[in-house]
């Protein structure tokens, strides 16, 4: 449970006069308007214990832009993955909104961050439905391009919750440098950028270089690794590979890089210079691991926005990623901020 006098968002000592039972007239919260949306995201049981701190109110105004893919996921539930040449039966077929970019944008918005999506969907029923979905989730869609057919993913999930994925890029690869140039003014209104690589490599490098010159915070999820370019490391503040991606990328890394390794059921690891910090996992019964890494990335983005320590950031990200595995579909199990804070402080 959150302690009296500490902010329920960041957990740091707040010293709010009201919650400490002191004279409130000089307390900062009497003269600062705390956004209603931020207050509504705080669990009810925390509200009479402490108020949100001044820094979190300030940081709440930061804008996040997710740059990546938008897919429609077709998920097959199977007992075991087929061997080469083998035909098996699936017990269920489900369709969900997905793509690494779409997953990360949805997760960021559910955590209360002001979020925009920069990506491309088809000018088809799938694309129109995805934009409507984002609107309902509170994600800004002004930067979404439409053309061609929507990207799609075909996913098998076994009885242990593990998955394999085959994707068709579709409209994701129609996102262009011209689109970036045409919307650059609005893009640069954002403070934090979360990239993944299911979109054109040249576009990622082009935009990263611009953002680095404007001193924007850049987080890179280097997946799929086949689309990674070592030059991206020159612009990235934090890189978040999973175990297999880390093995492929580590020869390019310098000690000065800030590396967050997503280790699944083993938790996560931070590597920087001579520092190496392991954070244990949050234990859950996994049903579907699709989107867990994307939720981890969104929670890490949230933690950076609110100036968490690296240990708290990884612990919070582990919890969020684990929670995402407890329901089928990439986005279904993603926690709200209320759900995340309840577990973080329980």
Active site residues: 294
- The rounded distance, in Å, linking the Cα atoms of 99 and 165 is 11
Three-state DSSP class for 73? strand
In the numeric block, which tokens belong to residue 168? 């068709």
Q: Give yes or no for a contact between 194 and 301, defined as CB atoms under 8 angstroms apart.
A: yes
DSSP assignment string, 182-203: HTHHHHTT-SEEEE-SSS-HHH
CA angle 247, 331, 83 (to 5 degrees): 55
- The rounded distance, in Å, linking the Cα atoms of 114 and 142 is 13
Task: Please report which helix (H) or strand (E) contains residue 344, including its range.
Answer: helix 337-344
Q: What are phi and psi of 19, to 5 degrees?
A: -75, -15
Q: Which residues pair with 91 in a beta bridge?
A: none
- The rounded distance, in Å, linking the Cα atoms of 27 and 92 is 56
- Could you tell me where the DSSP H helices lie in 146-226? 177-182, 184-187, 201-213
Three-state DSSP class for 204? helix
Q: Which residues pair with 258 in a beta bridge?
A: 238
Q: Give yes or no for a contact between 131 and 144, defined as CB atoms under 8 angstroms apart.
A: yes
């Amino acid at each position: 449970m959150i302690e009296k006098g500490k902010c329920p968002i960041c957990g740091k000592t707040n010293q709010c006069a009201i919650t400490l039972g002191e004279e409130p007239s000089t307390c900062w919260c009497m003269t600062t308007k705390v956004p209603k949306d931020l207050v509504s995201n705080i669990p009810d049981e925390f509200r009479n214990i402490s108020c949100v701190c001044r820094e979190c109110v300030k940081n709440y105004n930061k804008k996040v832009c997710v740059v990546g893919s938008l897919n429609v996921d077709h998920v097959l539930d199977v007992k075991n993955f087929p061997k080469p040449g083998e035909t098996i039966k699936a017990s269920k077929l489900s369709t969900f909104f997905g793509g690494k970019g779409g997953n990360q944008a949805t997760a960021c918005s559910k955590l209360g961050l002001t979020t925009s999506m920069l990506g491309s969907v088809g000018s088809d029923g799938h694309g129109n439905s995805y934009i409507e979905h984002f609107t309902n989730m509170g994600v800004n869609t002004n930067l979404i391009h439409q053309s061609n057919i929507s990207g799609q993913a075909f996913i098998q999930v076994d009885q242990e919750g593990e998955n394999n994925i085959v994707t068709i890029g579709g409209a994701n690869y129609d996102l262009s440098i011209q689109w970036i140039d045409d919307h650059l003014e609005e893009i640069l209104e954002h403070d934090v950028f979360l990239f993944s690589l299911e979109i054109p490599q040249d576009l990622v490098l082009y935009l990263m270089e611009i953002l680095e010159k404007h001193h924007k915070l850049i987080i890179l999820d280097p997946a799929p690794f086949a689309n990674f370019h070592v030059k991206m490391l020159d612009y990235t503040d934090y890189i978040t590979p999973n175990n297999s991606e880390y093995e492929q990328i580590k020869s390019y890394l310098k000690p000065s890089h800030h590396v967050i390794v997503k280790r699944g059921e083993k938790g996560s690891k931070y590597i920087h210079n001579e520092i190496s910090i392991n954070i244990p996992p949050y234990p859950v019964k996994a049903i579907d691991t699709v989107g867990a890494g994307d939720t981890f990335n969104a929670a890490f983005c949230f933690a950076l926005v609110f100036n968490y320590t690296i240990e708290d950031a990884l612990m919070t990200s582990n919890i969020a990623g684990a929670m995402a595995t407890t329901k089928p579909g990439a986005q279904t199990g993603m926690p709200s901020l209320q759900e995340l804070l309840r577990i973080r402080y329980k």
